[in-house]
Structure 1
Amino acid sequence: MSEKVLFVDDDANILAGYQRALRKQFRIEIAIGAEAALKLIERQGPYAVVVSDMYMPGMNGVQFLAKVKEIAPDTVRIMLTGNPDLRTAIEAVHHGHIFRFLTKPCPPESLAMALEAGIEQYRLITAERDLLEKTLSGSVRMLMEILAMVDPHLFGRAQTLRGYIRSLAQTLQIGEIWKLELAATLAQVGLVTIPPVVVLKARAGHSLSEAEQEMLERVPEISHNLLINIPRLEPVARIVLYQNKHFDGSGFPRDNVSGYDIPLGARMLKVLSDMCDLEESGVSRRRAFEVMRKREGWYDPRVLEAAAATFVSPAEARQQTEVPSMAVSVRGLRIGHVLASDVYTADGKLLISAGHRVSEALLERIRNFAEVTGIREPLYVEMRPGSGLVQAA
């Protein structure tokens, strides 16, 4: 039998007795006290089964087994006590999630049967986990291959976001980074269901019909639905669903979720995605964060500042001065201008976010909207010293 069993007690004589009685049937290791046992689990684990005494100095059996569940969740936990009572049993089950509750003195035969059952349970747990991991790995690999073939640009963006969210997670000291990396990688996988012509129009900054805009707005929902049925990806799917949600509750999806009820991974993705969008439009990273700080209610403030600390170099941070702006009309807007304020349609819909550099396609889009639905004027563009920009009518 290759699986190891760890006995924990504060009495060395009792531990020696367990070894003598069971070493022919099982690979027995012992630890005197909870602290020594935890160190042993970290250094020499995994153990299939951990058997602990209830009453030990410092950390009792319930506290110890609860800690074992945290650091070695696959390990099966068994409690041994010489003074059984209902309250102890309830605490052990609730906090330590024990598999068996045995009373002292426990005959070697009964103890051996409990260990055999525990080892079998451990094998079932690890076999199921291995199967899930293989299924997960295969499913994700397939999605990534599809993404790379269908949309190389999107695949490259996904890889960039994956690296960014890993760095931000380290700054925020967040565990289970794999969930965040998967969410960043697969956040836009739903775009593969959107007609390519619509995706290309959006990337070029061309005007979209109401139906096309609705298609793109639903991409997080489509991505979520593609991921939700893959084993163990439920938390990842939820992050993906809320990636465009504003901290104040506005944005997609249109529900009552807001603030810290939005998954942390989604709040991180919102900051990083918008940072990438602004950079792709020609805005410096420092300027991108200046723009985002002005978007009241959009971002989790802690995440936004952690991202700024992670991705803006100290040299750039020292240059954070207010850039003067000037008012221009749609007619006076020129290619190369950098928008200093958001651009809204006449009915109040956000058309272009501040920070975008005006390209030929973007200028055409603004003029088209001005002609068809109207644009709120004046617009404001950055005016830097020596730029030669003058007030336009």
Structure 2
Amino acid sequence: MDNAIPELDNIRSQLKSLERRKKPKMLVVDDEPDNLDLLYRTFRREFQVLKAESGGSALEILSQEGEVAVIISDQRMPEMKGTEFLSKTVPQFPNTVRIILTGFTDIEDLVEAINSGQVYKYITKPWDPNELKAVVQRAAETYELLKQRTEELRRAQAQTNLLMTLVQAAQESQSFDECFEPIARAFGENFSADIAIVQMLEGTEIAGARGIYAREGEAENWLADDPLVKEAIATGSIQVVVNVPADDKLAELAHYQKSDVQAHLIIPIKYREVAIALLSLQWKRPCTLREDELSTLHLCVQQAAIALTCTRYHP
């Protein structure tokens, strides 16, 4: 993270304390129970292994569990062939890496599947455990790389969209009060918050215009009673609690209990080092913002400050 943003340093430890190294998910599909058990025992230490005895059952598991890093599927199965099953997973899970197990020569199906990108590699039965482990390790690394690149593109696009929305809000709002709601919505949607509030400040007091975004239903604005907000105003720096139920000072507050908010981030919106408004992002789950997202947030808050100032003094 950019070391020029010292006010973000105080939340690094909180974010890291929530990180848990989770085992990547793997789905193994084979109509022979012995093979399923063998694959499970082989990979259970490095992966969270899901098992299915047919392509149809595997599709049901994916619909419930979501994306997995690696799929290992037998080719010859009664209901549908492995290549047919794997082809059905491509549209929804393009980053998943697929491996086929085959005990016979079915060159046409395998070549077509590999050439179309549906299969990363095929392994012949009976397989060599060390070879299979090596292939799966490379497959998992490939998945992480694909996932990282996809996420980088998504973040870049999201940041561009957010900045465009902020500029558009400043240009199109008919009055100063009207620009708050679209700015709150833009931040809320971009950072997957359940609630987002942009609140005007008058000096060091909460007052004036506000914009409120709620993913579902309506949201109550209780910022004036929140000690986290008071700290943000007093220090002029970002404040965040990533897990409210674990925070003794906040867990017992009525507004947190009533709203089910489990994570709350407050950042002053400053123009020329003077706080003119506050941005509140609230989640009904522990916060999962990464450090790069916090840097994006800081950049976009600076743009929001310019948008609010321009709209206020040059309507």
Normalising by structure 2, we get a TM-score of 0.46
Q: Which has the larger radius of gyration?
A: 1
Q: Which has the higher helix share?
A: 1
Q: Which has the higher strand share?
A: 2
